């Protein structure tokens, strides 16, 4: 019964893994947590878990657990290193030079096939070399993974990153994955050792039940944390749509991806397009909380400095993802600020001229023009309409 339970759980883990990776692939382009290497890892490990569990139950071998193909699990080792490397270097392409990392797993597959045709190669010396090289291979990539993560991510100062929350999400995710994978790799080494001692094939199948809980933890974390499942930019879009965090974006922002119109913008396009939603969210949150445009001397460089976004990135955002210029956006925000102050009763004690100065306009004429452009009403017409609405509401309350 315990044997059946363990193998059934292995099958379940594999099925959940395939389900999770299928969900993540829907947001593949916007999800920095997902790339081809993570897909390879999840698919190989999931299929292998299902294969081992299923064929242990029916007491037979599958193609994935046979001598010929069993070393395929070694592909996971360099794939994890390349996955971490791609996260720290922020690239999505697969480079030809990276294929060299898969030579050792492939050479093991080739050796298994050659041994079938040349029995002389089935000797203890070669198997000893294989055993030692397997251990060295796994340990070297564990160290390399740790090194690339430490130097490229973990030891960096969070304050140097524009999108701090995004950086912390990646850092915590890599710490979690590296810790879990270290345990899984040590399980492989111990499994190989036990198979070597007992004279079995080196397939790393002993103690397979030890992978169940770590993989449940990985898939559970992915399903519980939507920023990993959907990707941070896509999550930002979902949060904004759900919580209405950006209240004025319908009239200002364009969220669709674009094609840069000149060479200079093309160079920064790929880098910025991934951050459009976080950038816009940061801009709006800063404006709504701090009201920087109440200061008439608050400039574009001041704005970039305060929200910790490069000036060229803000310029790009307003050029390609806004229907207004920065100056028009300032006036737009000032009028929104004025409307909020009116609703809060600011004009009960002060004049429209005072309100104009309060929100940052240098003249009442500019305030008047901007107000009418946004609301389609002159300031006094807007006030009269609001007063009439308030009177109607008060009459309803009295009547009730």
Is 367:378 a contact under the CB 8 Å cutoff?
Answer: no
Lookup result for tokens 């397009």: 273
Q: Under CATH, which number does the domain 243-399 receive?
A: 1.10.10.60
Query: Counting every residue, how long is the chain?
Result: 400
CA-CA distance, 110 to 122, in Å (whole number)? 13
Residue 123's contacts (CB-CB under 8 Å, 6 or more residues apart) are none
In DSSP terms, which residues pair with 322 in a beta bridge?
253
pLDDT of amino acid 102: 93
Percent of the chain at pLDDT exceeding 70: 78
Query: Tokens standing for 154?
Result: 């973990």
Cα dihedral 222, 223, 226, 232 sign: positive
pLDDT of amino acid 229: 59
Give residue limits of the domains in the chain: 2-234, 243-399
Measured CA to CA in angstroms, residue 291 lies from 186, 238, 335, 349, 385 at distances of 55, 26, 11, 21, 26
Mean pLDDT by groups of 10 residues along the chain of 400 residues: 77 90 70 78 89 74 54 88 84 79 90 81 85 93 94 75 65 92 92 86 80 91 72 46 43 69 67 77 88 92 89 87 89 92 86 92 92 89 81 44
Tell me how far apart the 2 most distant CA atoms of the chain are, in Å.
102
Convert the pLDDT of each residue in 237-249 to its tens digit: 444 444 444 444 4
Alpha helices for the chain (secondary structure H)? 2-25, 36-57, 76-89, 103-117, 124-149, 164-197, 212-224, 226-230, 232-243, 263-273, 276-290, 300-307, 311-320, 326-343, 352-358, 364-375, 379-399
User: For residue 165, how many other CB atoms are within 10 A of its CB?
Assistant: 14
pLDDT of amino acid 249: 46
Residue 336's contacts (CB-CB under 8 Å, 6 or more residues apart) are 248, 374
Residue 374's contacts (CB-CB under 8 Å, 6 or more residues apart) are 332, 335, 336
Query: Tokens standing for 248?
Result: 């004025």
CA-CA distance, 385 to 256, in Å (whole number)? 37
Convert the pLDDT of each residue in 112-124 to its tens digit: 888 878 878 778 8
């Amino acid at each position: 019964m315990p044997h059946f339970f363990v193998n059934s759980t292995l099958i379940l883990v594999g099925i959940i893994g395939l389900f999770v990776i299928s969900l993540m692939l829907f947001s593949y382009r916007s999800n920095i947590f997902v790339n081809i290497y993570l897909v390879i890892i999840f698919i190989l490990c999931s299929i292998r878990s299902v294969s081992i569990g299923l064929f242990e139950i029916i007491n037979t071998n599958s193609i994935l657990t046979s001598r010929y193909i069993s070393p395929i699990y070694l592909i996971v080792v360099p794939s994890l290193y390349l996955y971490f490397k791609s996260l720290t270097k922020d690239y999505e392409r697969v480079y030809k030079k990276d294929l060299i990392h898969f030579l050792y797993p492939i050479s093991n597959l080739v050796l298994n096939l050659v041994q079938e045709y040349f029995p002389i190669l089935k000797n203890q010396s070669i198997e000893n070399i294989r055993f030692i090289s397997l251990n060295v291979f796994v340990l070297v990539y564990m160290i390399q993974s740790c090194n690339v993560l430490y130097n490229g991510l973990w030891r960096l100062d969070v304050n140097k990153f524009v999108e701090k929350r995004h950086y912390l999400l990646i850092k915590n995710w890599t710490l979690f994955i590296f810790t879990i994978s270290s345990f899984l790799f040590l399980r492989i080494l111990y499994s190989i050792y036990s198979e070597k001692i007992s004279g079995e094939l080196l397939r790393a199948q002993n103690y397979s039940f030890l992978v169940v809980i770590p993989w449940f933890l990985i898939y559970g974390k992915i399903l519980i944390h939507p920023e990993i499942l959907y990707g941070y930019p896509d999550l930002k879009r979902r949060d904004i749509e759900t919580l209405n965090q950006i209240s004025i974006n319908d009239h200002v922002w364009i969220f669709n991806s674009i094609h840069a119109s000149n060479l200079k913008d093309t160079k920064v396009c790929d880098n910025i397009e991934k951050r459009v939603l976080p950038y816009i969210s940061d801009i709006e949150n800063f404006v709504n909380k701090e009201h920087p445009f109440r200061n008439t001397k608050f400039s574009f460089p001041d704005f970039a400095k305060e929200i910790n976004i490069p000036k060229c990135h803000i310029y790009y955002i307003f050029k390609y993802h806004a229907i207004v210029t920065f100056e028009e956006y300032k006036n737009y925000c000032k009028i929104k600020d004025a409307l909020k102050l009116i609703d809060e009763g600011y004009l009960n004690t002060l004049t429209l001229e005072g309100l104009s100065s309060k929100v940052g306009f240098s003249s009442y004429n500019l305030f008047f023009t901007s107000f009418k452009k946004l609301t389609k009403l002159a300031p006094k017409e807007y006030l009269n309409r609001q007063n009439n609405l308030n009177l109607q509401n008060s009459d309803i309350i009295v009547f009730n």
